[in-house]
């Protein structure tokens, strides 16, 4: 639709599990639209998002480096991106999508990965005595070095403004707003239309904390090339892949197929400490069974005329079969 090369998400083609996972993380509303809006720096890092395209009328207020400017979009490189798989604590198997807002969900995910906490949260209210035409306005103070996000529960605002920059719901996720990053203290003013809510949740994190989490998780990575890779695990744990679980995915560790784990929608496998060779492959679920049934049916159909030649017709009736010009 935008002339971009790459993989995009159209909401109506998501699986239910994928849609639920994305909603909980804060960057998918489940509506029928084409977007990847509302993703945080943290989720870009954990899911291995290396490049991001952004409308050049907006721009990204992040430490991401702009590497290309186009007619409609600019391209940015993520400086903190984890490989296709990386080692996390075994407690990730106890992680559940049960929290109420994305900050709690993402913090809980980090805790189960290795005891990390990223976001500091606080409830914020709109300025008092706002008129109906002015809508609801938040005035938020952010410290230098902080990246901020605002979560607005309930019905999605039809439009919001962030320091005068307007974004409409058909292009953005207006329930989860990226307030950007700055090295200096600042005030961010957020306005809403089509929404009567008077409070929201502000989540902030220090870039230095993100750097620390990235360094620890990147110590045990596996880079997948053509379905293969290797990892030097300094401890036993779960190899966490930045891709959605599918029962058609098969993983081999050191030449032996291992049980895949559904980590609330994300793929994982257990590994011991030490060096391991990893292979990932995909097979359409039911393909072998379907192929076997097909071959069996073909065999039955071919066997019937042979039996007829011997006068042992298994299916009585007016059936005529011709093989090499001879009628049977």
Least confident of 18-27, 171-180, 303-312: 303-312
Confidence label for 272 from pLDDT (cuts 50, 70 and 90): very high
Model-wide pTM > 0.75: yes
On average, the pLDDT of the chain sits at 83
Task: Give me the residue label for tokens 């604590």.
Answer: 89
DSSP state for residue 216 in the 8-state scheme: H
Per-residue confidence (pLDDT) for residue 304, from 0 to 100: 62
Confidence label for 284 from pLDDT (cuts 50, 70 and 90): confident
Handedness of CA 10, 251, 215, 108 (dihedral sign): positive
pLDDT tens digits, residue range 244-262?
Answer: 898 899 999 999 999 999 9
Section 230-240 average pLDDT = 96
Q: For the chain, what percent of residues have pLDDT higher than 70? A: 77
DSSP state for residue 301 in the 8-state scheme: H
Residue 291 has pLDDT above 90, yes or no: no
Q: For the chain, what percent of residues have pLDDT higher than 90? A: 45
Per-residue confidence (pLDDT) for residue 309, from 0 to 100: 47
**Angle, nearest 10°, between helix axes 207-217 and 102-114?**
40
Between CA 79 and CA 69 the distance in angstroms is: 18
CA count, 13 A, side-chain hemisphere, 126: 19
Section 234-250 average pLDDT = 93
Residue 32 has pLDDT above 90, yes or no: no
Closest CA to 133 of 191, 49, 57, 210: 191
Asked whether 232 and 239 are in contact (CB, 8 A), the reply is no
Alpha helices, DSSP H, located in 115-175:
none
Confidence label for 115 from pLDDT (cuts 50, 70 and 90): very high
Per-residue confidence (pLDDT) for residue 314, from 0 to 100: 45
Residue 305 has pLDDT above 80, yes or no: no
Question: 113, exposed or middle or buried, with CB in 10 Å at 0-12, 13-18, 19+?
Answer: buried
Confidence label for 56 from pLDDT (cuts 50, 70 and 90): confident
Handedness of CA 141, 143, 148, 154 (dihedral sign): negative
């Amino acid at each position: 639709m935008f002339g971009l090369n790459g993989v995009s998400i159209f909401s109506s083609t998501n699986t239910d599990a994928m849609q639920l996972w994305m909603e909980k993380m804060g960057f998918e509303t489940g509506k029928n639209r084409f977007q990847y809006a509302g993703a945080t720096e943290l989720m870009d890092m954990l899911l291995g998002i290396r490049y991001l395209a952004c409308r050049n009328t907006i721009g990204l207020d992040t430490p991401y480096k702009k590497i290309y400017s186009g007619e409609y979009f600019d391209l940015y490189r993520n400086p903190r991106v984890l490989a296709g798989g990386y080692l996390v604590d075994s407690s990730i198997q106890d992680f559940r999508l049960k929290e109420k807002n994305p900050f709690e969900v993402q913090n809980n995910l980090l805790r189960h990965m290795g005891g990390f906490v990223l976001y500091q949260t606080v409830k914020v209210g709109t300025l008092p005595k706002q008129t109906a035409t002015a809508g609801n306005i938040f005035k938020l103070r952010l410290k230098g070095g902080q990246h901020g996000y605002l979560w607005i529960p309930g019905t999605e605002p039809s439009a919001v403004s962030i320091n005068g920059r307007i974004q409409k719901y058909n292009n953005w996720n207006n329930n989860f707003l990226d307030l950007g990053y700055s090295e200096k203290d600042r005030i961010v003013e957020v306005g809403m239309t089509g929404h009567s809510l008077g409070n929201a949740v502000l989540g902030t994190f220090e870039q230095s904390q993100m750097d620390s989490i990235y360094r620890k998780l990147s110590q045990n990575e596996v880079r997948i090339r053509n379905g293969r890779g290797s990892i030097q695990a300094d401890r036993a744990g779960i190899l966490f892949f930045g891709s959605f679980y599918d029962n058609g995915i098969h993983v081999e560790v050191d030449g032996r197929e291992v049980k895949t784990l559904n980590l609330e929608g994300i793929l994982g496998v257990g590994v011991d400490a030490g060096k391991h060779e990893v292979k990932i492959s995909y097979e359409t679920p039911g393909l072998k069974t379907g192929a076997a049934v097909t071959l069996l049916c073909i065999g039955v159909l071919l066997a019937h005329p042979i039996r007829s030649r011997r006068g042992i017709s298994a299916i009585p009736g007016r059936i005529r079969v011709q093989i090499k010009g001879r009628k049977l």
